[in-house]
Amino acid sequence: EPEVTQTPSHQVTQMGQEVILRCVPISNHLYFYWYRQILGQKVEFLVSFYNNEISEKSEIFDDQFSVERPDGSNFTLKIRSTKLEDSAMYFCASSGQVNTEAFFGQGTRLTVV
């Protein structure tokens, strides 16, 4: 069964460093998302991406964040200068059509020290 794949599964970084979280969405999907879950809190929407551009972003997704689909398969989330409060599980998701179920990857645990 097709699945969304995320790497790495765990990333530890020092405050102020840049990180890139990588995702390979399901191959025929067109809509891509990043969500995050801070420990003990809800899963929160960060950004949606369609047709090579951001379609919506949350207030969390400030100038420190960017997304890119550098080739036909990868979808990346970059955090330019990490802060302690960026520590969370980051989930990539994709869907084949708009407003249908999204399929999630297993997540990347980001720890900022």
Partner 1 sequence: DQQVKQNSPSLSVQEGRISILNCDYTNSMFDYFLWYKKYPAEGPTFLISISSIKDKNEDGRFTVFLNKSAKHLSLHIVPSQPGDSAVYFCAASDTGGTSYGKLTFGQGTILTVHP
Q: With contacts defined by CB under 8 A, how many residues of the chain interact with partner 1?
A: 27
Q: Does 107 bind partner 1 (CB under 8 A)?
A: yes
Q: How far apart are CA 100 and CA 110, in angstroms?
A: 28
Strand 108-112 and strand 10-13: the pairing is parallel
91 belongs to the binding site for partner 1 (CB under 8 A): yes
Q: Does 52 bind partner 1 (CB under 8 A)?
A: no
- Single out the residue of 20, 43, 80, 81 in contact with partner 1 (rule: CB under 8 A): 43
Tokens matching residue 75 = 């979808």
What is the b/e burial string over 11-25, where b = at least 16 CB atoms within 10 angstroms of the residue's CB? bebeeeeebebbbbb
Q: Which position among 7, 69, 74, 104 is part of the footprint of partner 1 (CB under 8 A)? A: 104
What is the C-alpha separation between 70 and 74, in angstroms, rounded? 6
Q: Which residues contact partner 1 by CB under 8 A?
A: 4, 6, 31, 33, 35, 41-45, 48, 50, 55-56, 91, 93, 95, 98-107
